[in-house]
Amino acid sequence: MKKELISIVVPCFNEEENIPLFHQELDKQTKKMKELSFEVLFINDGSQDGTLEAMRSLAKKDKRVRYVSFSRNFGKEAAMYAGLKHAKGDYVAIMDVDLQDPPSLLEEMYRSIKEEGYDCVAARSVSRHGYSFLRKVFTGWFYKIIAKISSVEMVAGARDFRLMKRKMVDALLEIGEYNRYSKGLFSFVGFDTKWIEFENQERVAGTSKFNFPKLFAYAMEGIVGFSTMPLVISAFIGVLFCLVSFIAIIVIIIKTLIWGDPVSGWPSMVCIMFFLSGIQLFCTGIMGEYMAKTYLEAKRRPIYIVKETEEDLACED
């Protein structure tokens, strides 16, 4: 009987040191799962270092290794999408190359799908060990907010690390949207997902590729992509201020009629103007975010552009 194939999708951006380490660890794990065959699909997300060379040399040595190399950096979301698209497996796993997603969990994930009938098994880190204090605080806030306002279920500490059945992968590929927030999309497509918890690991080598502006953009992607609550809030603020101004008008009219108090209160007027202009710009900004996303979506630009794959390597030989 033909063995079932598991594809492991691994997005990489400037990760030359991590690729061989990841391959080694994964190799140890796959040796324990002999009833299955594997393919490792590295995605080179426009790296500037020796990442592509590392992928090429592994692909030459190990036939299970494939790679897709982008023409520039398109971001981890694009890399994951490309991985799902190129993967041939009956099951597909997504893993970070920095070994923060332990390959040892793969076996448990596969068993849960096979024996307990789940469609997907996803990992959730219960600690944020290895990340800076500020990042831990902001990430904590972000997950609390998005869990409350999002239209789909968002699990705190959820990683992109998961093993999925082909059916779920195909469902994800059906969603061709440009502004991708996978953690939301995994929830959106549904299917039975089991969560397994683990302690967060530190990166084996290199540094995090997500700096503050990138994380902020990622958070906005999640909020704008899966909630219209900010629009509702800005409309609510508008109504609230109308009510306040209505009350203020009545108070001023009464005051003028009783005490005939003509032109006082210039400083308070200026403060109110600044305050209201601030609120207005803030609400316009929120609207702008949604419009910008719609604009980008309407252009239907490709999510990623491929420059090279392991098949080009075969042609060279």
Piece in contact with ligand UDP (CB under 6 A), picked from 68-76, 138-146, 149-157, 234-242:
68-76
Q: Which of 56, 64, 165, 209 binds ligand UDP (CB under 6 A)?
A: 209
Comparison of 205 and 306: residue with beta carbon closer to Mg ion: 205
Q: What burial letters (b/e) apply to 168-181, b meaning 16+ CB within 10 Å? A: bbebbeeeeebbbb
Q: Is 222 in the site for ligand UDP (CB under 6 A)?
A: no
Q: Is 89 in the site for ligand UDP (CB under 6 A)?
A: no
Q: What is the distance between the alpha carbons of residues 270 and 249, in angstroms, rounded to a whole number?
A: 16
Q: Which of 8, 15, 56, 171 binds ligand UDP (CB under 6 A)?
A: 15
Task: Let me know: does 196 contact 108? Beta carbons within 8 Å.
Answer: yes
Residue 13 binds which of ligand UDP, Mg ion, none (CB < 5-8 A, kind-dependent):
ligand UDP
**Which of 46, 74, 83, 223 is CA-nearest to residue 160?**
83
Q: Which of 29, 112, 208, 309 binds ligand UDP (CB under 6 A)?
A: 208
- DSSP state letters, 183-225: HHHHHHT---EEEEEEPPPPPSSS--S--HHHHHHHHHHHHHH
Report the DSSP beta bridge partners of residue 93. 8, 163
Piece in contact with ligand UDP (CB under 6 A), picked from 29-37, 59-67, 95-103, 247-255:
95-103
Residue 12 binds which of ligand UDP, Mg ion, none (CB < 5-8 A, kind-dependent):
ligand UDP
Q: Which of 7, 13, 68, 226 binds ligand UDP (CB under 6 A)?
A: 13
- 6 phi and psi angles, rounded to 5 deg: -110, 125
Amino acid at position 157, single letter: G
Q: Is 84 in the site for ligand UDP (CB under 6 A)?
A: no
Q: Is 45 in the site for ligand UDP (CB under 6 A)?
A: yes
Q: Is 75 in the site for ligand UDP (CB under 6 A)?
A: yes
Comparison of 77 and 96: residue with beta carbon closer to Mg ion: 96
DSSP code at position 155: -
- Residue 149: partners with Cβ closer than 8 Å, 6 or more residues away: 223, 227, 229, 230
Q: Is 163 in the site for ligand UDP (CB under 6 A)?
A: no
Chain positions contacting ligand UDP, by CB under 6 A: 11-13, 15, 45, 73, 75-76, 79, 96-98, 100, 208-210
